[in-house]
Amino acid sequence: MFGELGKKSSTELKIPPAEPRESVLCGSLAIGGTSLAIAKAGASINEVPLYLHIALLKRSQDSPKEMTLPLPMVTLLSCEKLSPAKLKLVKEVMLIPPVQLSLKQGIERALDIQKEMMRLLEPAGKAPPALKRVSHLGCLITGCDNLEQPLLLIQTACNNIGLQLGTDMYLAINCAAHELMDYVSYFCCLLK
């Protein structure tokens, strides 16, 4: 920043470094689009709505007796891109409410867990840096030292609000399968 007529002031704004680019396996994004195109084509051929075609595929029958919504899965925690190598295998930890809860009850329960997690993650005596702890997708971001730490953190949050994992809420882990293999090294070895 400049102060008086061309003199440089002593306080400069520092620009944070860009996040490292996350590699994506070529073609992995096309799988969802291809699956949807095939499902739409099947629905069109059978002259039924898309939702009914998908329900018929699942049940292998003429007409389903009842239609159900899929279980909501709420992404609670996202491990940072700069985490240690082993943590790069766990991209996200998700919550799955039990089937007996309504959609609204399941989301409310997940929000209660998220609020408790934010309370546990905030530094003692300071206002929580809310925007730094929540991703653009709405899930909490944390840096952990080992694979067990995010799971223990979620278990502590559930215990604090009186919920039991495996009964009142279930966990799912989104593993980064493309992190299991170093494709650059693999393809370089093939070319030699």
Q: Average pLDDT, stretch 163-169?
A: 93
Q: What is the pLDDT of residues 105-117, one digit of tens each?
A: 999 999 999 889 8
pTM: 0.59
Q: How confident is the model at residue 40 (pLDDT cuts 50, 70, 90)?
A: very high
If DSSP states are collapsed to H, E and C, what string results for 22-90? CCCCCCHHHHHHHHHHHHHHHHHHHCCCHHHHHHHHHHCCCCCCCCCCCCCCEEEEEECCCCCHHHHHE
**Exposed/middle/buried for 190, CB within 10 Å: 0-12, 13-18, 19+?**
exposed
Q: What is the pLDDT of residues 128-159, one digit of tens each?
A: 444 456 776 677 777 677 778 888 889 999 99
Q: Which residue has the tokens 């992995």?
A: 28
Q: Average pLDDT, stretch 164-179?
A: 83
What amino acid occupies position 72?
P
| Cα–Cα nearest to 82, from 153, 16, 142 | 142
Count of positions (residues) in the chain: 192
pLDDT at 109: 93
| Cα–Cα nearest to 93, from 169, 164, 25 | 169
What is residue 146's three-state secondary structure? coil
- List strands edge to edge, sheet with 90-96: 140-142, 74-79, 90-96, 170-175
What is residue 20's three-state secondary structure? coil
Listed by start position, the domains of the chain span 28-59, 74-179
| Cα–Cα nearest to 154, from 99, 104, 116 | 116
Q: What is the pLDDT of residues 52-103, one digit of tens each?
A: 888 888 766 666 677 766 778 888 887 765 555 555 667 788 899 998 888 8
